[in-house]
């Protein structure tokens, strides 16, 4: 049908800085930057040691409730540790684990995705069959299984999450590479006699990097939820390190007797971080890579 659809032009010129672009998620990005800032300067910002408490001052409520004080603005937990300080150091755990795990998953997935898509043949078959199989395992269950084998530590959790999530990367990147392979500039490079390695490195990789960034942002939220869930189940970053998921698991016991601040505050932190990452990822997806809209 030759129905004429009105052409809507983006009123913002392409020279505008990216934060002026239409629909740029200002609040989510501010939240993420704030969490990153807190994570970096946790030592300076935290009023107390996050790992040392005193049983004499356990279960203190937040300052605005009766019995609370501004010394422990968000209260104390079951061993008397300052909740605010633990939240601040928890930001560091979430950021470090989240970002490095996404980097690990992204590097493995992008590399194998490019090789699988570009080289085809048996390399493609092997990678894709492994991908299919691993995707059949629910991510959290797979992560629990791996954590049960190698035992929980911060480094192990990062490796486990990278191992669990690279398959999603590989599948999307492979699809992109398959269509890139048909494009003129790649064919020209082949005709010009460039080696496969050079083509993958110089022509394919730069063209899938947009998708990789979008995926990374979307994956950040997923990885953080998984990390928090592992902590919550007791196979995440081991105590006494303050991870938000672990704080909620510890706080759960106090929930029925009214110590709500132990679960609510870390919960809000996780929620804000994950929502922000997802909103940013959604925006990037539409803005950077229209092909990924179906994701």
Partner 1 sequence: MKQYIARRVGYSLLSLFLLSVTIFLFVRVTGDPVSLLVEPGASPEDIENIRRQLGLDQPLWEQYWHFMASLFAGDLGQSFYYRVPVLDLYFQRLPHSLLLAAVAMALSLLIGIPSGILAAVRVDGFWDSAGKIFALLGLSLPQFWVGLVLILFFSVYLGWLPSSGSGGVLHLLMPAFTLGWYFAAAHMRLTRSSMLEVLGSEYIKLARLKGLPEALVIGKHALKNALIPVITLAGINLVVMINVAVVVETVFAWPGIGRLLYEGITFRDFPVVQGVVIIGGAMIVMVNLLVDILYALIDPRIRLES
Partner 2 sequence: MPSPLLSLENLSTHYVSQQGTRVVRAVDEVTLSLNAGETLGIVGESGSGKSTLALTILRLLPAAARITSGRMMFEGENLLEKSDEEMRQVRGKRIAMILQDPMASLNPLFTIGDQVGEPIRVHEGASRASAWKRAIGLLRSVRIASPETRVSQFPHEMSGGMRQRIVGAVGISCEPRLLIADEPTTSLDLTIQAQYLKLLRDLQREHGLALIFITHNLGIVAKMCDQLAVMYAGRVVEHGPVSRIFNRPMHPYTRALLGSIPRMADNRDHLTAIEGQPPDLASMPPGCAFAPRCPEAFDRCRAEAPPEFTIDHETRARCWRAPVDASAKAAS
Binding site for partner 1 (CB under 8 A): 129-130, 132-134, 136-138, 140-142, 144-151, 221, 225, 228-229, 232-235, 245, 248-249, 252, 255-256, 258, 260, 263-264, 267, 270-271, 274-275, 278-279, 282, 294
Name residue, tokens 């010009």: 192
Closer CB to partner 1, 9 or 294, in the complex:
294
CA atoms within a 13 Å half-sphere pointing along the CA-CB vector of 284:
19
Name residue, tokens 């979008």: 214
Closer CB to partner 1, 36 or 275, in the complex:
275
Upstream peptide bond of 113 is cis (omega within 30 degrees of 0): no
Token pair belonging to 87 = 């939240």
Q: How far is 150 from 153, CA to CA, in rounded Å?
A: 9
Report in angstroms how near the CB of residue 206 gets to partner 1 at its nearest. 30
Report in angstroms how near the CB of residue 9 gets to partner 2 at its nearest. 9
**52 contacts: CB under 8 Å, gap ≥ 6:** 81
Closer CB to partner 2, 4 or 13, in the complex:
4
Q: 59 contacts which partner out of partner 2, partner 1, none, CB within 5 to 8 A by kind?
A: none
Q: 3 contacts which partner out of partner 2, partner 1, none, CB within 5 to 8 A by kind?
A: partner 2
Q: How far is 9 from 3, CA to CA, in rounded Å?
A: 18
Neighbours of 182 (CB within 10 A): 8
Collapsing DSSP to helix, strand or coil, 111 comes out as helix
Q: How far is 162 from 167, CA to CA, in rounded Å?
A: 9
Q: 252 contacts which partner out of partner 1, partner 2, none, CB within 5 to 8 A by kind?
A: partner 1
Q: 35 contacts which partner out of partner 1, partner 2, none, CB within 5 to 8 A by kind?
A: none
Name residue, tokens 């942002």: 217
Token pair belonging to 225 = 């939820």
Closer CB to partner 1, 2 or 70, in the complex:
2
Q: 274 contacts which partner out of partner 1, partner 2, none, CB within 5 to 8 A by kind?
A: partner 1
Closer CB to partner 1, 89 or 232, in the complex:
232
Beta bridge partners of 82: 76
Contact 263, 255 (CB under 8 A): yes
Report in angstroms how near the CB of residue 15 gets to partner 2 at its nearest. 22
- Using CB under 8 A, list all residues that contact partner 2: 1-8
Q: 158 contacts which partner out of partner 2, partner 1, none, CB within 5 to 8 A by kind?
A: none
Closer CB to partner 2, 5 or 182, in the complex:
5
């Amino acid at each position: 049908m030759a129905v004429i659809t009105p052409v809507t032009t983006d009123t913002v010129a392409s020279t505008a800085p990216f934060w002026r672009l239409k629909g740029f998620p200002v609040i989510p990005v501010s939240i993420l930057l704030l969490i990153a800032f807190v994570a970096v300067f946790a030592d300076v910002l935290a009023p107390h040691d996050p790992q040392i408490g005193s049983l004499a001052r356990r279960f203190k409520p937040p300052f605005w409730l009766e019995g609370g004080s501004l010394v422990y603005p968000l209260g104390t937990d079951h061993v008397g540790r300052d909740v605010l300080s633990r939240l601040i150091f928890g930001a560091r755990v979430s950021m470090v684990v989240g970002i490095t795990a996404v980097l690990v998953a992204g590097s493995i997935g992008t590399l194998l995705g490019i090789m699988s898509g570009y080289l085809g043949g048996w390399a493609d078959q092997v990678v894709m069959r492994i991908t299919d199989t691993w995707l059949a395992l629910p991510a959290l269950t797979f992560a629990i299984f791996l954590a049960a084998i190698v035992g929980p530590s911060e480094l192990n959790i990062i490796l486990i999450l990278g191992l669990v999530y690279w398959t999603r990367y590989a599948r999307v990147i492979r699809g992109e590479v398959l269509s890139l392979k048909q494009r003129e500039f790649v064919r020209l490079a082949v005709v010009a006699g460039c080696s496969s390695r050079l083509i993958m490195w110089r022509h394919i990789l730069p063209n899938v990097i947009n998708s990789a960034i979008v995926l990374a942002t979307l994956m950040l939220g997923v990885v953080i939820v998984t990390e928090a869930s592992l902590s919550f189940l007791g196979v995440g970053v081991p105590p006494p390190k303050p991870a938000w998921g672990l704080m909620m698991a510890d706080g759960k016991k106090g929930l029925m007797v009214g110590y709500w601040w132990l679960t609510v505050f870390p919960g809000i932190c996780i929620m804000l971080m994950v929502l922000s990452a997802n909103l940013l990822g959604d925006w990037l997806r539409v803005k950077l890579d229209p092909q990924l809209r179906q994701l």
